[in-house]
């Protein structure tokens, strides 16, 4: 496939506001490409060169790209800057400046390879090397291809494709319907690599997908926890449980494969650089290969104090990590093991996996086993919950002792119990920003009035609205949010958004915000959970607690199914 043909399809995707159409166009691309092109195309359409968990970056930001665009099209840099101010989209700026089309368009595989070479350039002189490589590539492309190349390089595709959209398109391309979705999803939960899944499906069919197993070095999607309102409900539903403290740090998946250690976040991003002390501790473990699941938190073993979450996430900054590691060393409380010495442990019952964690970590004082107590008594569970809260922890997680590790599933194998603040829902909700209203007065100064927020309907792969948000942020917070919104603004409603509200500006679903509300109420206008025979759901008195862009993608926001369950629990507890 020529890059110009891919670019034409990307243009069609950009123009549609229907999810079905998006899937159809993407399925057509897959039908018309060769097996060798499946992987590069799958990564490129998501603004990547490799799967999300492989930290390859092209390494050219807006400023460098402006220099390359100026050089490629023989115009002064100032002109690029000026035009870009008008278009507000560097892709469109490149498209506007591109000259007559070259006679021959490079193939998708060639463009992917050349971008990889640009990404690989490092050391002295690499900035110039990257710029030259990119300028050369722009010169070989037509205007529409240039627009998409620039967007791929910036990782800003503006197409509204999510991972489930890709899975549906693969199924459509291969089978003509969505019937392969469950098997594709299973493979995705175990490997997190859409490109590899696409290639495997073409190369060795459904049996090939089934044979894709968990392996060290490749993150699997994390098992997630359900909610229940109180300890009594937990014991009633689960019987005997293993109870663990719920640490408020950062979820970490620690992989050791021979001499190499990698660490991944909750949304499968590489975090290896952030945690040198965890890497060192993992490499000392007496195993050839292992995958551990746990929570990283700064912990002072002497005073037995946990350092607040902000201190843990400060590691996100690239500078000063060694200094921070010396000042507030990180521990990881490990609660699970999914793989050891070549064996997939996910089918084993939790009790067995936990025993393996204890055995593996006996010697380590950085990777600590999260303590587990076994009980079938609601009183004991209540005591544990209160005890953990008084020690400054978030609450407890109760786990079914006979459950397998179900990658990517949120179910009652694990149940989280937190402090129950009266008058509030007993958990926060993670919403995705879908649009905003310009606002009046002081708010207008910051560029944003109320925000339109939604949750994720995973069955339909759609974002549905649940609330408008107007409170909870400081003036500075509003300013910051507006800065982030600017780059996500799109002219039309994105294809996967379902809303009866029409905000002043639509946003690509990307920013996840943690919200606390008093309750969930029925709503005739919000589309979350709305069906022919019942209204949607809305949040009563919502206020923003924090931004969660760091570790949650839009699809990781609270789901409609969770909202429905919280609504039912709230109704039962009101009696």
Using CB under 6 A, list all residues that contact ligand ATP: 224-225, 244, 246-247, 251, 266, 295, 335, 370, 397, 416, 430
Active-site option among 130, 156, 246, 399: 246
Nearer to ligand ATP, 246 or 262 (CB): 246
Is the distance from CB of 454 to CB of 473 less than 8 angstroms?
A: no
Is the distance from CB of 26 to CB of 20 less than 8 angstroms?
A: no
Of the candidates 417, 396, 430, 571, the one whose C-alpha atom is nearest the C-alpha of residue 511 is 430
3-state secondary structure of 355: helix
Is the distance from CB of 562 to CB of 500 less than 8 angstroms?
A: no
- Distance CA(208)–CA(333), nearest Å, equals 35
- Beta carbons within 8 Å of 95's beta carbon, 6+ residues apart: 143, 144, 146, 147
Nearer to ligand ATP, 7 or 397 (CB): 397
Of the candidates 79, 312, 40, 338, the one whose C-alpha atom is nearest the C-alpha of residue 194 is 40
Is the distance from CB of 328 to CB of 298 less than 8 angstroms?
A: yes
Closest approach of ligand ATP to the CB of residue 430, in Å:
6
Nearer to ligand ATP, 1 or 278 (CB): 278
Nearer to ligand ATP, 158 or 418 (CB): 418
3-state secondary structure of 86: helix
Closest approach of ligand ATP to the CB of residue 222, in Å:
6
3-state secondary structure of 94: helix
- Distance CA(346)–CA(160), nearest Å, equals 33
Residue 392 Rama label (left phi>0; alpha psi -120 to 50; beta): left
Nearer to ligand ATP, 251 or 468 (CB): 251
Tokens 């089309």 map to which residue?
101
Is the distance from CB of 185 to CB of 167 less than 8 angstroms?
A: yes
Closest approach of ligand ATP to the CB of residue 503, in Å:
25
Tokens 């640009």 map to which residue?
118
Closest approach of ligand ATP to the CB of residue 246, in Å:
4
Tokens 């115009």 map to which residue?
75
Nearer to ligand ATP, 324 or 397 (CB): 397
Nearer to ligand ATP, 309 or 501 (CB): 309
Nearer to ligand ATP, 89 or 555 (CB): 555
Closest approach of ligand ATP to the CB of residue 211, in Å:
29
Nearer to ligand ATP, 131 or 220 (CB): 220
Nearer to ligand ATP, 119 or 225 (CB): 225
Closest approach of ligand ATP to the CB of residue 416, in Å:
5
3-state secondary structure of 203: helix
Closest approach of ligand ATP to the CB of residue 523, in Å:
23
Is the distance from CB of 70 to CB of 126 less than 8 angstroms?
A: no
Query: Measured between alpha carbons, how far is residue 381 from residues 243, 364, 411, 416 in Å?
Result: 7, 28, 19, 12
Residue closest to ligand ATP when measured from CB atoms: 251
Nearer to ligand ATP, 142 or 295 (CB): 295
Closest approach of ligand ATP to the CB of residue 266, in Å:
6
236 labelled catalytic: no
**What distance lies between CA 332 and its chain's CA centroid?**
21
Cβ neighbour number for residue 28 with a 10 Å cutoff: 15
Closest approach of ligand ATP to the CB of residue 428, in Å:
7
- Distance CA(114)–CA(149), nearest Å, equals 11
- Distance CA(68)–CA(149), nearest Å, equals 12
Count of residues in the chain: 575
| Helix or strand (DSSP H, E) at 313 | helix 309-313
Query: Measured between alpha carbons, how far is residue 547 from residues 252, 469, 479, 480, 510 in Å?
Result: 19, 13, 13, 10, 11
3-state secondary structure of 374: strand
Closest approach of ligand ATP to the CB of residue 86, in Å:
40
Helix-helix angle 163-175:181-191, to 10 degrees: 130
Query: Which runs of consecutive H residues, i.e. helices, occur in 447-493?
Result: 475-486
- Distance CA(514)–CA(295), nearest Å, equals 19
Instruction: For residue 239, give both structure tokens.
Output: 């019987």
Closest approach of ligand ATP to the CB of residue 53, in Å:
17
**Residues designated as active site:** 246
């Amino acid at each position: 496939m020529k890059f110009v043909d891919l670019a034409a399809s990307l243009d069609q995707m950009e123009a549609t506001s229907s999810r079905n159409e998006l899937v159809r166009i993407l399925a057509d691309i897959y039908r018309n490409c060769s097996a060798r092109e499946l992987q590069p195309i799958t990564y490129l359409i998501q603004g990547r060169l490799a799967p999300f968990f492989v930290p390859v970056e092209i390494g050219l930001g807006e400023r460098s790209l402006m220099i390359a665009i100026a050089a490629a099209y023989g115009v002064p840099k100032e002109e690029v800057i000026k035009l870009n101010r008008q278009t507000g989209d560097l892709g469109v700026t490149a498209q506007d400046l591109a000259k007559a089309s070259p006679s021959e368009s490079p193939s998708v595989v060639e463009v992917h390879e050349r971008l990889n070479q640009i990404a690989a350039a490092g050391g002295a002189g690499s900035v110039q090397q990257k710029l030259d490589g990119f300028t050369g590539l722009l010169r070989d492309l037509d205007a529409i291809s240039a627009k998409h190349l620039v967007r791929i390089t910036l990782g800003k595709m503006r197409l509204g494709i999510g991972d489930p959209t890709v899975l549906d398109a693969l199924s459509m391309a291969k089978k003509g319907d969505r019937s392969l979705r469950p098997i594709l999803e299973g493979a995705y939960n175990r490997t997190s690599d859409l490109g590899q899944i696409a290639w495997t499906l073409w190369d060795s069919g459904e049996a090939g997908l089934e044979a894709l197993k968990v392996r060290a070095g490749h993150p699997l999607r994390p098992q997630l926890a359900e909610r229940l309102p109180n300890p009594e409900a937990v014991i009633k539903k689960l019987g005997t449980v293993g109870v663990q403290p719920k640490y408020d740090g950062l979820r970490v998946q620690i992989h050791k494969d021979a001499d190499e250690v990698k660490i991944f976040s909750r949304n499968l991003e590489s975090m290896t650089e952030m945690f040198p002390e965890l890497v060192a501790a993992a490499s000392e473990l007496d195993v050839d290969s292992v995958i551990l699941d746990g929570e990283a938190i700064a912990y002072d073993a002497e005073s037995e104090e946990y350092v607040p979450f902000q201190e843990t996430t400060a590691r996100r900054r690239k500078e000063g990590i060694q200094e921070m590691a010396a000042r507030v060393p990180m521990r990881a409380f490990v609660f699970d093991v999914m793989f050891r010495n070549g064996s997939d442990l996910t089918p084993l019952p939790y009790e067995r996996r936990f025993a393996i964690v204890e055995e593996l970590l006996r010697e380590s004082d950085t990777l600590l086993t999260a303590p587990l107590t076994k009980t079938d008594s609601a009183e004991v569970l209540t005591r544990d919950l209160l005890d953990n809260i008084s020690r400054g922890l978030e609450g407890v997680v109760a786990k079914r002792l006979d459950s397998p590790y179900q990658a990517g599933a949120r179910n009652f194998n694990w149940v989280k119990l937190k402090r129950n603040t009266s008058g509030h829902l007993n958990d926060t909700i993670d919403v995705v920003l879908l649009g905003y209203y310009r606002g009046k007065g002081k708010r207008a100064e910051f560029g944003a009035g109320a925000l339109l927020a939604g949750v994720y309907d995973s069955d339909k792969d759609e974002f549905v609205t649940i609330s408008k948000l107007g409170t909870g942020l400081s003036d500075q917070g509003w300013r910051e949010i507006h800065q982030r919104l600017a780059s996500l603004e799109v002219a039309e409603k994105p294809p996967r958004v379902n809303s009866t509200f029409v905000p002043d500006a639509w946003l690509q679903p990307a920013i996840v915000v943690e919200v606390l509300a008093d309750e969930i109420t029925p709503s005739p206008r919000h589309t979350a959970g709305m069906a022919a025979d019942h209204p949607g759901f809305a949040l009563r008195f919502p206020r923003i607690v924090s931004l969660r862009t760091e570790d949650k993608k839009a699809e990781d926001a609270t789901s409609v199914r969770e909202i429905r369950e919280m609504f039912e629990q709230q109704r039962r507890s009101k009696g």
